[in-house]
Structure 1
Amino acid sequence: MKKTQLLGSIGLVTGAVLTLAACGQKSNDNAGANDAKKFPQQTPKKAVKKGGTLSYALETDTPFTGIFNNELANSAIDSTVAQFGNETLFDTDDSYKINNKGPATFKLDRKAKTVTIEVKKGVKWSDGKQVTAKDVEYEYEIMANKGSKSQRYTASLQDIVGLTDYHDGKSKTISGIEMPDGENGRKVVIHFKEMKPGMLQSGNGYFLESASPYHQLKNIPFDKLQSSDAVRKNPIFFGPYKISKIVRGQSVTWVPNKYYWRGTPKLDKITISVVNPNSASQAIKSHKFDIADVVNSQWDQVKNTKGVNFVAKVPLSYGYMGFKVGKWKDGRNVMDPKAKMNNKSLRQAMAYAMNIDAVTKRYTHGLSFRVPTLIPEQFGDYFNKNVKGYSYNLKKANQLLDKAGYKKKGTYRVQPNGKPLTINLAAMAGNSTLEPITRNYIQQWKKIGLNVKLTTGRLIEFNSFYDKIQNDAKDVDVFVAAWSLASEPSPNDLYNEKAPFNFTRFVTKKNTQLLGEMDSQKAFNHKYRVDKFHEWQKYMNDEAYVVPTTNSYSITAVNSKITGYSLKPSDGNSLWYKVGYAK
């Protein structure tokens, strides 16, 4: 599953600035980075005892939607709630390469253009039924059936033979997904039109990495799935825990899945419940939760708390500023050459005017830092270190606007055609620092003569914000948001012509060409692929339709009596099987 998630100002990512900034740090880009190297990625290893209850803080200022199916959920918040039971089919190593240690084995045959997935015997749903080939196949039906309105039906998945015909209603089955031992067997063979270099990595987007319980869902029409009890109230999973109680939008209680294939999980009970990000530090200091994310702007308040271990990682994510230059129409992004923000100088000027340097220092104690490109540094040689991004430069911003014909009339500039220019900015609500940070950027833009106003006059709640962005609301010209990324570096599913997630709606010949080359047959050659990634980052930086802003250390406070908690990719799938109280 391409694990692209929409992030709230707090989602999987803490730190106000992640959803809200653009650029400014120069020499001290890594000031925060060096600071945080003192954080371990996992809790100290100790012997685990059986039993105990764990409480987990879900930091959000809005109730969770509670859609517990991988193909229907879009928010990182719902994924966080489901993590205790929602195991994926594959384990990975620390570089996210798929291995055969997980619930299913994986085999790629480049010549036959197939991927074979075999679920291990004994991998069972929490109601005791074996996970079957049909459960793996049904995941594709949910994703591709028009009735389910899944956001996950992407251009990349349409590389599967017969998927488009099924989606368009021309076929009742997906011809390219074969179950050689029948529906109740455990083997699935997926046929592709062409093989892709990213297929060996988890999160590649060309095939799904999860399964859905066919025996539970088969009688529910696709258009009723999202609102069904099976998805909202009593979903079943094959991970270590199962749901025993849901308080809608507020909390979920998990108990062990006695059929879990790896063995018996350690805890008797896990409760995940909503806490407002503004009360997060208080909750950590008073030990109200065993596991709680630190809001970076509150780091000073919690860092000396006794009885907790702080673990951290730099998540695969980034904040960005996006400029609306088109609309989503008939399954594709359609660019409008006359769009207000379809002027490169205007976009670049807004990026240069942002004083991120000062913002990260003041509000996040160096735990957030500017990111220069749309490919994170964790992707190693795919990251283009020569792309410097937009560091704070008001002089350059003014020059760009002057040269592009945005003349000043009084305080503000007008459009090159002489008409007034008002830019509507959509920004998300979240923790208490988001308001001052947003106001700060609006002031910065005023300094270069741009009249930027908040869409709706205030910060917008997470669900309403994405509703506006996805539906290309007329009152949004610019927006600040964040991605949580897949663990395969290809940006195809975020920025191509048919990507619903390409929220700016920009489409250019050059972008289409570069995205295609990055994931082509030639790209099985690593050096060629790296070169194309570098070229794309340079191109995107120059065009500035999407300007990357910041990333932040994601720090978690863990009760020091807890052991087995880890943020390493290789521990991800089996994490909750291992977590427990130390003896």
Structure 2
Amino acid sequence: MTKASWSKALFALMLVLLLALAACNSDSEEGEGDSGSDSGESNEGGSDAESEDGLYSLDDFEGVKTNEGEAIEGGNLNFGLVSESAFEGTLNYNFYSGNPDVVVIEWFDEALLSMDENYNYTNDGAATYETNEEGNEFTFKIRDEVNWHDGEPVTAEDWAYSFEVIGHPEYTGVRYGTDFTSIEGMEAYHNGEADSISGIEVIDEKTLKITYLKANPSLLTGSIWPYAMPKHIFEDIPVAEMAESPEVRENPIGMGPFKVDTIVPGESVTYTKNEDYWRGEPKLDGVTLKVISPGSVVKALETGEVDLVDNFPSDQFPDNADMSNVEYLGTIDLYYNYIGFKLGTWDAEAKEVKPDDTKKMADKNLRQAMAHAIDKDSLGKEFYQGLRWGATTLIPPSHPMYHDTENPGLEFDPEKSKQILDDAGYVDVNDDGFREDPDGEELVINFAAMDSGDISEPMAQFQIQSWEAVGLNVQLLDGRLQEFNSFYDRVGQNGEDDPEVDIYSAAWGVGSDVNPAGLYGRDALFNFPRYASEENDRLLAEGLSEKAFDTEYRQEVYNEWQEFMAEEVPVFPLLYATTLVPVNNRVHNYSIDPAQPVYLNELAVTQEEPIVAE
């Protein structure tokens, strides 16, 4: 799998990031294309997916690009980052917070640890590891040939420094949480009670030892921070100033297959190949990444302005399924989108959620009723032609071992919704068509929704009308959709929750580790609903207990958690998704299937110029 194809997957908190992916193979025939044509035209392309009823499914797509023609030496590839907004430009794994930035980062930097198709750490990456019998000590060995782009070796000091920065009292990013507090001595260091982290020991230049407070089953599936930070570049910069420094914003370096050459802030990045890359010299000479709006992505693909994109808007697929110069790849997305309810605030000093039972959405009856009012299956069919489908629980099917297929979630039932509201005292006392709250006061629910493409507005209106149908007055915050960066600021990604937001619509790219504490734990900044309870604490802790090394027990715990969250409804999932990636027919060696990985240094093209659509 190419690095660029699973940006959300490594979004660890968030991030959190990769639920064990079950990739499905297509039964359709492979597309044929004359990708070596001197004229730049192909004979055939697009997708063989056919739909009599206008609906599609994951089974219509392959996960690996068909190679046509012969790859040339060198060449440049054009990559489209699909976004309505500019990327923020925080280009360092320790500090980024939005998915667009991580898409930029993963072309020039990468994890030291690799994962297999089940998202367990392996010894095939830039570093190998071994554990003690108890499972709480890890000894890592970085390969000798792994170097930073400036030629300096990637060292154990660099890896340890990454932990020290995230754990530092003046750290300004969003990474610090349970994945770090579980390290011996981390909290004492973070609280300023120690000058170093006792559980992190540099053995020699290439060997690092990390001791965790106790073993837990998540340590081998994504909760070990796998990113180093070049200490020789950052050590003289105050931690509080790092995120805004030129070393992060203007001149970032990494250890990946390409080096950053130039940056047009928020718009584009050009990369040149890293001839010293540890997996081998890249086949391409370079890559140009540019931001492409969802509204212009089809034209950019047809004209060859971009060879591939990070995530094609699936609502645009049916009208462009036969695009002649691309092959569409598809897989289950490591993702769900959801509706969240604001139930508290973030206590920046205590670094934990502070529930507030005076919040407008504090009554779980209201939340349950709002969930039952949404026809999720119709959402997926109407706006995504079946390429997204109704979600049931907060552990998606991309993690089949732990996704509870027997749990129907909060099903569409508007009559049940109305009954719940009636019983809870939400009735229309003034005959204006909208229900008042149980005290007889006007109830207006402010809804924050993001502008992420052409269907954002009709999607939001579909939901608003669904709530109106059961008597609830829901209004868009400020009367409009919110721009990406503004949206996440207002829902609290910087720790400040806008009190005007009552509910919001957002999405998570989920992580390799099934443990949901990074999103819903009491100490998780990304717990945007600001929900916390003793029962939630207990279940999350049980999922990391020694007993949870027994897979069946862990399944039971997470099934119970999925049921509990459907009852409490701090959020409810809307849709699961298929990732679609159209790839120009000149591109060789590209995969979005984790069972058949192709690394970025193997990416190649068959001709200098992109193939254009007929």
- Decide: shared fold, TM above 0.5: yes
Q: Which residue of 1 aligns with 2:180?
A: 157
Q: Is the 8 A contact 2:521 2:537 kept in 1?
A: yes
Deviations 1:98-119 (CA, angstroms, capped at 9, x unpaired):
1111100021224272011110
Q: Which residue of 2 aligns with 1:456?
A: 478
User: Within 1, Cα distance between the matches of 2:193 and 2:535?
Assistant: 33
TM-score, normalised relative to structure 2: 0.87
Give secondary structure in 2 for the equivalent of 1:378: coil
**Structure 2 counterpart of 1:560, from 574, 585, 589:** 585
Deviations 1:71-104 (CA, angstroms, capped at 9, x unpaired):
1001110010111111211121111111111100
Corresponding position: 1:221 with 2:238: yes
**Pairwise CA distance, 1:303:** 0.8
Q: Is the 8 A contact 1:490 1:518 kept in 2?
A: yes
User: Within 2, Cα distance between the matches of 1:176 and 1:361?
Assistant: 50
Query: Match for 1:107: what amino acid?
Result: E
Corresponding position: 1:500 with 2:518: no
Corresponding position: 1:478 with 2:483: no
**Structure 2 counterpart of 1:77, from 100, 120, 127:** 100
User: Within 2, Cα distance between the matches of 1:545 and 1:160?
Assistant: 29
User: Within 2, Cα distance between the matches of 1:98 and 1:2?
Assistant: 16
Q: Which residue of 1 aligns with 2:455?
A: 433
**Structure 2 counterpart of 1:416, from 426, 438, 452:** 438
Q: Is the 8 A contact 2:14 2:526 kept in 1?
A: no
Q: Where do 1:52-131 residues align within 5 Å?
A: 52-111=75-134, 113-131=136-154
Give secondary structure in 2 for the equivalent of 1:270: strand
**Pairwise CA distance, 1:369:** 0.6
**Structure 2 counterpart of 1:187, from 207, 213, 219:** 207
Query: Match for 2:60: what amino acid?
Result: K
Q: Is the 8 A contact 1:235 1:243 kept in 2?
A: yes
**Pairwise CA distance, 1:287:** 2.4
Among all aligned residue pairs of Structure 1 and Structure 2, give the percentage whose two residues are the same amino acid. Answer: 34
**Pairwise CA distance, 1:146:** 2.7
Q: Which residue of 2 aligns with 1:341?
A: 361
User: Within 2, Cα distance between the matches of 1:166 and 1:569?
Assistant: 37
Flag structure 2 segments of 5+ consecutive residues without an equivalent: 1-9, 17-52, 608-614
Give secondary structure in 2 for the equivalent of 1:377: coil
User: Within 2, Cα distance between the matches of 1:3 and 1:163?
Assistant: 19
Corresponding position: 1:138 with 2:143: no
User: Within 1, Cα distance between the matches of 2:585 and 2:472?
Assistant: 50
**Pairwise CA distance, 1:63:** 1.1
**Pairwise CA distance, 1:570:** 5.3
Q: Which residue of 2 aligns with 1:39?
A: 61
Deviations 1:222-273 (CA, angstroms, capped at 9, x unpaired):
1111111111111111111101111111100011112111111010110000
Q: Aligned in 2, Cα 1:445/1:109: closer, same or farther, shift over 3 Å? A: same
Q: Is the 8 A contact 2:587 2:604 kept in 1?
A: yes
Deviations 1:515-538 (CA, angstroms, capped at 9, x unpaired):
110110111111111110111111
User: Within 1, Cα distance between the matches of 2:153 and 2:249?
Assistant: 22
User: Within 2, Cα distance between the matches of 1:61 and 1:239?
Assistant: 27
**Pairwise CA distance, 1:383:** 1.1
User: Within 1, Cα distance between the matches of 2:246 and 2:208?
Assistant: 28
Q: Is the 8 A contact 2:518 2:524 kept in 1?
A: yes
Greater alpha carbon shift after TM alignment, 227-236 vs 279-288? 279-288
Give secondary structure in 2 for the equivalent of 1:569: coil
Q: Which residue of 2 aligns with 1:20?
A: none
**Structure 1 counterpart of 2:277, from 253, 260, 270:** 260
User: Within 2, Cα distance between the matches of 1:240 and 1:417?
Assistant: 61
**Which structure: greater helix fraction?**
1
CA RMSD, Structure 1 to Structure 2 (Å)? 1.8
**Pairwise CA distance, 1:419:** 1.3
Give secondary structure in 2 for the equivalent of 1:432: coil
Q: Is the 8 A contact 2:82 2:312 kept in 1?
A: no
Q: Aligned in 2, Cα 1:34/1:248: closer, same or farther, shift over 3 Å? A: closer
User: Within 2, Cα distance between the matches of 1:35 and 1:344?
Assistant: 34
Query: Match for 1:439: what amino acid?
Result: Q
Q: Is the 8 A contact 2:361 2:367 kept in 1?
A: yes
Query: Match for 2:602: what amino acid?
Result: K
Greater alpha carbon shift after TM alignment, 353-362 vs 406-415? 353-362
Q: Which residue of 2 aligns with 1:3?
A: 12
Q: Is the 8 A contact 1:285 1:302 kept in 2?
A: no
**Pairwise CA distance, 1:282:** 1.9
Query: Match for 1:190: what amino acid?
Result: I
Give secondary structure in 2 for the equivalent of 1:148: coil
Q: Which residue of 1 aligns with 2:32?
A: none
Q: Which residue of 1 aligns with 2:541?
A: 516
Query: Match for 2:258: what amino acid?
Result: Y
Corresponding position: 1:233 with 2:257: no
> What number of residue pairs does the alignment pair up?
553
User: Within 1, Cα distance between the matches of 2:596 and 2:214?
Assistant: 31
Q: Is the 8 A contact 2:200 2:208 kept in 1?
A: yes
User: Within 2, Cα distance between the matches of 1:190 and 1:241?
Assistant: 29
TM-score, normalised relative to structure 1: 0.92
User: Within 1, Cα distance between the matches of 2:61 and 2:201?
Assistant: 46
**Pairwise CA distance, 1:314:** 1.2
Q: Aligned in 2, Cα 1:174/1:226: closer, same or farther, shift over 3 Å? A: same
Q: Is the 8 A contact 1:162 1:176 kept in 2?
A: yes
Q: Is the 8 A contact 1:310 1:558 kept in 2?
A: yes
Q: Is the 8 A contact 1:4 1:484 kept in 2?
A: no
User: Within 1, Cα distance between the matches of 2:336 and 2:113?
Assistant: 25
Query: Match for 1:302: what amino acid?
Result: N
Q: Where do 1:244-323 residues align within 5 Å?
A: 244-292=261-309, 293-323=311-341
Query: Match for 1:82: what amino acid?
Result: I
Q: Aligned in 2, Cα 1:112/1:368: closer, same or farther, shift over 3 Å? A: closer
User: Within 2, Cα distance between the matches of 1:245 and 1:148?
Assistant: 27
User: Within 2, Cα distance between the matches of 1:111 and 1:552?
Assistant: 38
Q: Is the 8 A contact 1:5 1:75 kept in 2?
A: no
**Structure 2 counterpart of 1:539, from 534, 555, 564:** 564
Query: Match for 1:311: what amino acid?
Result: L
User: Within 1, Cα distance between the matches of 2:231 and 2:500?
Assistant: 42
Corresponding position: 1:575 with 2:584: no
User: Within 1, Cα distance between the matches of 2:127 and 2:187?
Assistant: 26
Give secondary structure in 1 for the equivalent of 2:145: coil
Give secondary structure in 2 for the equivalent of 1:215: helix
